[in-house]
Structure formats: C-alpha cells, structure tokens
Amino acid sequence: MHTLEIGNRSFVISRAQKEDVPQLVALLADDVLGRDRESLDLESYERAFARIDRDENQLLIAVRDEKDSLVATMQLTLIPSLSRGGATRLQIEAVRVAGSTRGAAWARHCSSGPISGDGSTVRSSRS
C-alpha cells in the first residue's frame, strides 16, 4: 500500500482485491461510455479479475479515500516489445475516478506515473 497526500486529502493506493470487484464495476459504469457498455452481471467481471490477478504483468489498482471508499482505479499492463532494443512498455488503461473525487488533482498526480512513497516506480508486488 502507498499513501498519496493531495492538499488536505489522503488516498491509499493498493492492489485491487476480489472483494473490490462490485465497486470497481460501479466506477467503470459511472461515465458516459460505461453506462451503456458495462453489465450488472458480476460473474464475468469476477472471471476477468481472476485472470488479471494471476498475470504478473498486470496490476489492477484500487484507490481509497479517508472514509475507505473506493474512489479510483486503473489497470497497468507491462508489455514486452521488440522495439527499442526489447524494451518493456507500460500501458495504463481503464482509469476511472469517482465523481466525488474528480477535481482533487488525483489524475494529474497519477498521469506523471505511479510513484511510491520513496519516489520509485510502484511495482506490482502482491500484498
């Protein structure tokens, strides 16, 4: 877990857990595209979560606020590449921020890269 302080707000960033799936799906559905695209059938999301969680190149992040409410998520994927001398690339997708948290500058902090408390890149270690 990592803590991010933004102004007078505090957010805890951690690896998403299976128990988070309903709240994660609610975040995915809480936007213009998601309203029509996402489903209420959690079974398919639970299967997808299990595949993501087993893959060491995947990190599904859950962000909680001071009230322990899940207020944001993103999925990070490490992708091996032949270009740039076999570099590994990081893809960031499915970024969602709850309406109650939008405007808290959270997205701006995350767009500069997932950073741990000591300034190093957050690794996908399991906890």
Q: Which two tokens stand for residue 88?
A: 């590994």
For the residues 100-106, what does the mean pLDDT come to? 68
- Spatial contact of 63 and 48, defined as CB atoms under 8 Å apart: no
pLDDT beyond 60 at 119: no
- Can you tell me whether residue 32 is helix, strand or coil? helix
Q: Is the pLDDT of residue 112 over 70?
A: no
Of residues 114 and 127, the one with the higher pLDDT is: 114
Tokens standing for 79?
């992708």
Q: What is the pLDDT of residues 47-92, one digit of tens each?
A: 999 999 999 999 999 999 999 999 999 999 999 999 999 999 999 9
pLDDT (tens digit, 9 = 90+) per residue, 6-43?
A: 878 889 999 999 999 999 999 999 887 788 898 889 99
